[in-house]
Amino acid sequence: MNKITFLVFILISSISISQVLDEDFEGTMGANGLPTGWTETGLSTDGIWSVGDATSASSLFFSYSAHTNFAYTNDDDCNCDKSADRLITPALDLSTLTTVELTYSLYFPNSETVTIEVSTDSGVTWTTESTLTSNSGWLNNETLDLTTYAGQSNVLISFLYNDNGDWAYGLGIDDVMVDELPTCVSPSSLSATNVSATGADLSWTENGTATSWNIEVVTAGTSPTGVATTTGVTNPYTVSGLSSATDYEFYVQSDCGNGDLSSWSGPFSFTTPCAIFTTPFLEDFNGTTSVPNCWEEAGSGTPTTGPSSLGSGNWNFGDYLNDSSNTISAKINLWYTGKEEWLISPEIDITSGSFNLEYKVAETDYDDSVANEDGGMATTDDEVQVLITTDGGATWQNITTYNASNVAALAGQQESFSLAAYTGTIQIAFWASEGTVDDTADYDFFIEDVAIVAAPTCDDPTNIVVSNITETTAEINWTENGSATEWEILYGVTGFDPTTAGTLVMDNDGTLGETLSGLTEGQDYDVYVRSVCSSLNSGWVGPVMFTTLCPEVTSISVTNITGTTAEINWTENGSATEWEILYGVTGFDPTTAGTLVMDNDGTLGETLSGLTYEEDYDVYVRSICSSVDSDWTGPEMFTTGTLNVSSEILSDVKLYPNPTRNILNFTADIKVEKISIYSILGNKVFTLNPKDLNVSMNLESLQSGVYLVKVQKENAVKTFKIIKE
């Protein structure tokens, strides 16, 4: 702040009664470069202490904040021993004072040692009265109670600076006053902690007995009014309602009661951080020649380690493509090895919705708009990575990389990357590396118009329907929920991975729906569908499963029929190599009964055996495909052959009673060789070799039902049907 304004501000708060010293370092300097009566001691070789403004006091690696003239020491400018630089006031007569207060301003941003010391023996010995604390900016109107020295007539006060052997630091002292201690002492050691985008905790040291204070908070560069913005506060005090990314200063005044107010202390400077940005976000870099507000740069670190040396770097801001007719962009010159430069965005909230990262990128010759004559990035091991963090910079993930195999266009190119995989609060970084090879290419790499925007929407289709399924085709339809006029269909054998496999079919004929062809009969398939929009696709919807048909056999034929066998053949209409034959007495239900025969020997056709003479049979055949069987074809009816002439010898055989409960009687006029009883399914359940012409058979163990009884004599066989009750 302006020194004159500040002094007026102090004066309207407190009127000096018996001021002993008032030095603002604005007057004529003595032969030693200091105000009259001021002295210095030390070990440095640069004159120890000097007087000047911030420009003259600053050096290459250490800078003072803007200020009017002040006393300073700077070990960067000297590069010498600054372990004992003492700035000493004139001898002070405090004999008329009953209390003593020292007031001063201080610039001390680093961690060296600074003490205020007092001597009453002309500097032979010194007593330390205060060890000071560093601060990022100027501390104004700091006070120290030196009442211990009231009444003495030869008092020296010194500011002692010790750089502790470090380098590139310094100390500034201004506005030194010694006066009667007021009845209401000013607070000191102002501080701001827990600084957020909209508030901060303000605190200070009370040097008297006050329990109430007044606060004035102003934006930096604004002169204080001396009128409190908040009165009667406690220590500490939380100020709210501040603006993000803004420099502030605050002042404190003690209220000792009954209208007794101290002079104002301050200002103490602090800066509110940037608030988290919301979407849509755009940084066009226009109107800036340095890192934009809320952005950061860093001069070292890799994508693995993250950035270091925050606050310094080599990104520049100038005409896009080095063409003065263009707007401003960020650019980095890549030439010498070892360069690792970060340009980091502020925090951006992408919690609600789906977003894309967009920006322009280009490459030109150094400080020119033409191509680099050495080939630029294409001939180097240089790279520029675009990175993202979702954890405040703890880790960084790669979005894309520009290198020898991915070179930015000379005329520039628009880039867009989906951020659908990320959520929460993010930061984007552009990391430029010169690599390890000392190549000759000297070129500029540009970043322009960095934006986070809502991703274009492409609605998912719904209601996938598979119809008109044949052995080799299937018709696919769905519901389009947006404005897409093109779609992709992906299909494959059930269980395929749609991210790596499948057959893709494009539906771009303007009519929704597509017929898949060339399918395998009897196969299970999965199908997915997605909409194709102008700049992106919807997600895949599916899978919906369907199975192609297994073709039915045709033209069943029954040939070479005998009394107990029959040969079955048919026509295969697909590629099946296995079949099932189901047969039974005519009229049987093929869903619950019948005898099943498997034909899996690789040759179409099968001979049925064990049939009954003079019996009517039905036969069905079906193909077995990979995932499904065909429907049954049939029935095809046939009748087994009759007995031959020799069977007449069995014409007088009788079985009774029929039906029977337990005992079945057999009579014949000749002796037979064998009597066999079969279930209706063809299973033999009873066998007898009779020795007599009249035999009684106990069938108590048989279940109720229909049975076939075969009576055999030599080559003659006669079959009877009986019912067991």
Residue 153: left if φ>0, alpha if ψ -120 to 50, beta else—which one?
alpha
pLDDT category, 309, cuts 50, 70, 90?
confident
User: What pLDDT digit, counting tens, does each position of 175-222 carry?
Assistant: 999 998 888 989 988 999 999 999 999 999 998 899 999 999 999 888
pLDDT band at 17 (very low <50, low <70, confident <90, very high): very low
pLDDT, position 458: 82
Beta pairing partners, 219? 248
Locate the domains of the chain by residue range. 19-179, 188-272, 293-454, 462-547, 553-640, 654-724
What per-residue confidence (pLDDT) applies to 18?
A: 59
Q: How far is CA 521 from CA 109, 188, 525, 544, 685, in A?
A: 82, 91, 11, 18, 43
Topology annotation, domain 19-179: Jelly Rolls (2.60.120)
Q: For residues 504 and 285, what is the distance between their CA atoms, to the nearest angstrom?
A: 44
For residue 284, give Cα distances in angstroms to 249, 264, 324.
30, 42, 16
3-state helix, strand, coil in the chain (%, to 5): 5, 45, 50
Looking at residue 648, its pLDDT comes to: 52
Q: What is the largest CA-CA distance in the chain?
A: 165
Q: What superfamily in CATH does domain 293-454 come from?
A: Galactose-binding domain-like (2.60.120.260)
CA 706/CA 678 separation, integer angstroms: 9
Computed over every residue of the chain, the mean pLDDT equals 89
Q: How confident is the model at residue 163 (pLDDT cuts 50, 70, 90)?
A: confident
- Give the strands of the sheet with 127-131, arranged side by side: 39-41, 85-88, 156-162, 113-119, 127-131
* Average pLDDT rounded to a whole number, residues 24-35: 93
What's the rounded mean pLDDT across residues 221-244? Answer: 94
Asked if the bond preceding 187 is cis, omega within 30° of 0, the reply is: no
Task: Give the tens place of pLDDT for each residue, 356-383.
Answer: 999 999 999 999 999 888 889 999 999 9
Q: Position 482: which residue type?
A: G
Q: Report the share of the chain in percent with pLDDT over 90.
A: 59
Q: How far apart are CA 113 and CA 484, in angstroms?
A: 71
Q: Which residues pair with 308 in a beta bridge?
A: 300
List the structure tokens of 448: 């322009």
Q: For 654-724, which CATH class?
A: mainly beta
The continuous run of DSSP H or E covering 54 comes out as helix 54-57
- Per residue in 489-522, pLDDT (tens digit) is 999 998 899 989 999 999 999 899 999 999 988 8
* Residue 6's pLDDT band (cuts 50, 70, 90): very low
pLDDT of residue 11: 38
Amino acid 490 reads L
| pLDDT for 7 beyond 50 | no
pLDDT reading at 574 higher than 90: no
pTM comes to: 0.49
Half-sphere exposure of 501 (CA within 13 A, CB side): 9
Spatial distance between the Cα atoms of 280 and 270, rounded to a whole number of angstroms: 29
- Please check whether the two domains, 188-272 and 462-547, share a CATH topology: yes
User: In this structure, which amino acid lies at residue 32?
Assistant: N
- Which of the listed CATH numbers 1.10.260.40, 2.60.40.10, 3.40.50.150, 2.60.120.1440 matches domain 188-272? 2.60.40.10
Q: What is the mean pLDDT of residues 246-264?
A: 94
- The dotted CATH code for 553-640 is 2.60.40.10
Provide the residue type at 136 as one letter: S
Beta bridge partners of 611: none
**Given this structure, which CATH class describes domain 462-547?**
mainly beta
- Quick check: 147 pLDDT over 50? yes
Band (pLDDT 50/70/90 cuts) for residue 715 is low
Quick one: tokens of 126?
């010194």
**CA-CA distance, 523 to 116, in Å (whole number)?**
93
Output the pLDDT for position 15.
38
pLDDT at 654 over 90: no
Contact between 570 and 554 under an 8 Å Cβ cutoff? The reply is yes
pLDDT digit string, tens, across residues 381-391: 999 999 999 99
Half-sphere exposure of 162 (CA within 13 A, CB side): 11
Alpha-carbon span 528 to 545, nearest angstrom: 9
Q: Please state, in angstroms and rounded to a whole number, the distance separating the CA atoms of residues 523 and 500.
A: 20
Confidence check: pLDDT of 417 > 80: yes
Cα–Cα–Cα angle for 399, 401, 406, rounded to 5 degrees: 135
The model's pLDDT over 271-301, given as tens digits with 9 standing for 90+, comes to 999 999 999 999 999 988 889 989 999 999 9
Please give the pLDDT value at position 9: 41
**Residue 647 above 60 pLDDT?**
no
